[in-house]
Structure 1
Amino acid sequence: MGTPLGDFVRAKRDSIQPQSLGLPDRGRRRSPGLRRLDLAARAGISVEYLTRIEQGRDRRPSVAVIHALADALSLDLSEREHLRYLAKITGGECPTHTRPAPPRRDVRPAVLETLRLLEPGIAMVTNRLGDVLAHTGAYESVTSAAGLLDIDPPNLTHYVFTDARARTFFADWDDIADEQAFDLWLGPSAENSAWLTAQLTVLAGPDFTRRRNRHVVPRRGILRLNHPSGHELRLRRETLELSSDAQQLVVFLPDDDKTAQAVEQLRQRPHGRLRAIS
């Protein structure tokens, strides 16, 4: 049985063309990417040890080995952080048979006050599971018509993978789906992430499972929305990590004048005020 760490190393190895690392092209192979022999040599470990890591038979490689693999795979900063995180949860993971206690859903008063100060801007408080915990009225104006807030409590990950409207609302649905699937690895707890993952595996099918297991670190570019009103919105996302709460405050900023004007029109429509979901 594989592990998240082994799956990531194997996926990255398969995605690398030997020529990009200055290695010779050894002709056609049964599987794509870098050979285990070449990766092991670059990392300074044996092929047998690399095989054990990829197959999940070694769950506790040393910090030095993790750094060596990161260098050998030429990982960028975000990918290195993800590799270290997977090494941590792989070494300490245990099976989950029952639903754990739900993640923290309350938002601290100081965070809610910050959200109020951001009105009439578009902002929300969320966590890595995709729970929308609080939001401004402008966020509701932009998202409610597309059904994102229909479920109580709303969950962005669930919406992206199970609501057909999401594929139209998000102009770059594939990228957003990759983001939400990846973020489950960083959920409030491994147990809660596993529980939600089990739900989505049944509801969303192999497309969700494939995205989660690819371990592609998302780039999180401009968010493009096809609003049901006919407006095309382009929003930049600024995220403030609330580490002690395992939550994020996300602010959405218009990327162009056309979007700013459209958002202003949407704001003028009747909508709710600041809402905290508990």
Structure 2
Amino acid sequence: MGTPLGKFIRAKRDSIQPESLGLPSRGRRRSPGLRRVDLATWAGISVEYLARIEQGRDRNPSPTVISMLADALRLDPSERKHLRYLAKITSGECSVHVRPVPPPRHVRPSVRQTLRLLEPGVAIVTNRLGDILAFTSGYQSVTSGTGLLDAALPNLNRYLFTDLRARTFFVDWEDVADEQTFDLWQAPSLENLEWLTAELTPVAGPDFTRRLNRHVVPRRGVLRLHHPAGHQMRLLRETLELPTDAQQLVIFLPADDQTAESIEELQRQSHGRLRSIS
């Protein structure tokens, strides 16, 4: 049985064409991408050791080995960060069974006050599991009529994979689903990740499980929305990490004048206020 670390390394190896590293083409092969022997050579480790890592038989490679693999795979900074994280959770100390528990939902008063200062802008406080913990009236206006905030405890992943309206609201649904699923690997704790995936997997279907095990680092671009009222919006996202809370403050900014006008019109139609969900 493989590990998240091994699956990620194998996926990246399969995505690399030998010619891109100056290696000769091997002709038609059963497996795509770079051969295991070639990656092991570039990383300066044995083929047998690389096989053990990929197959989950070695769960504790040293930081030096992880760095050499990152160099050999030509990983960008985001991918390197993810590789180190997977090495951490795959290590022996993290391989024991974890008890699924929900994450804390408390939002500190000072964070709520910061959110109020952003009114009437579009902003939320969320965590890596996709829980929407607090939001401005602007966010409520932009998502009005979409069903995203209808649940007592709204969650972006649950909405994306279980509510058909999400596939219309998020114009680039595939990209957003990739982003949200990838962020689950940065969950507040393994216990929290187990809790959400155990709850979501049975109802989300293969679209969710396939992404969860793919480990493709998403390229986050402009967020495009199609509001039920007919507004087409393009939003830029600025994320401020709140490390002591394992939460993020996400601010959505209009990418063009048309989007700014649409947000203003939606705000006139919906007079909401800041909400905190606990």
Taking the TM superposition and a 5 Å limit, the aligned residue runs for 1:48-197 are 48-91=48-91, 92-96=93-97, 98-100=99-101, 102-197=102-197
The question of whether the paired residues in 2 share the 8 Å contact of 1:14 and 1:33 is answered with yes
The question of whether the paired residues in 2 share the 8 Å contact of 1:234 and 1:255 is answered with yes
1:248 aligns with 2:237: no
Q: Which secondary structure does the structure 2 equivalent of 1:146 belong to?
A: coil
TM-score (norm 1): 0.97
**Structure 1 residue runs of 4+, over 6 Å off?**
none
In structure 2, do the counterparts of structure 1 residues 95 and 200 end up closer, same or farther at CA, with 3 Å as the change threshold?
Answer: farther
Q: Could you say which residue in structure 2 is the equivalent of 1:213? A: 213
- What letter matches 1:244 in structure 2? T
1:97 Cα deviation after fit: 6.4
Deviation by residue 1:233-275 (Cα, 9 ceiling, x = unmatched): 0000000000110000000000000000000000111332001
- What letter matches 1:66 in structure 2? I
The question of whether the paired residues in 2 share the 8 Å contact of 1:134 and 1:277 is answered with yes
Deviation by residue 1:108-127 (Cα, 9 ceiling, x = unmatched): 11111110000010000000
Q: Which runs of 5+ in 2 are unaligned?
A: none
TM-score (norm 2): 0.97
Distance in 2, Cα, partners of 1:214 & 1:57: 20
Q: Which secondary structure does the structure 2 equivalent of 1:110 belong to?
A: helix
Taking the TM superposition and a 5 Å limit, the aligned residue runs for 1:192-203 are 192-203=192-203
- What letter matches 1:214 in structure 2? R
1:104 Cα deviation after fit: 1.5
- Identity of counterpart residues, as a percentage? 71
Distance in 1, Cα, partners of 2:268 & 2:212: 39
Q: Could you say which residue in structure 2 is the equivalent of 1:277? A: 277
- What letter matches 1:225 in structure 2? L
Aligned length: 277
1:266 aligns with 2:257: no
Q: Which secondary structure does the structure 1 equivalent of 2:144 belong to?
A: helix
1:19 Cα deviation after fit: 1.1
1:197 Cα deviation after fit: 1.2
Q: Which runs of 5+ in 1 are unaligned?
A: none
- What letter matches 1:88 in structure 2? K
Larger deviation: 135-144 or 67-76? 135-144
Distance in 2, Cα, partners of 1:32 & 1:154: 40
Distance in 2, Cα, partners of 1:41 & 1:98: 40
The question of whether the paired residues in 1 share the 8 Å contact of 2:98 and 2:191 is answered with no
Distance in 1, Cα, partners of 2:96 & 2:226: 40
Q: Which secondary structure does the structure 1 equivalent of 2:250 belong to?
A: strand
- What letter matches 2:38 in structure 1? D
Q: Which secondary structure does the structure 1 equivalent of 2:49 belong to?
A: helix
Deviation by residue 1:137-177 (Cα, 9 ceiling, x = unmatched): 01000113100001111001110111111001000000000
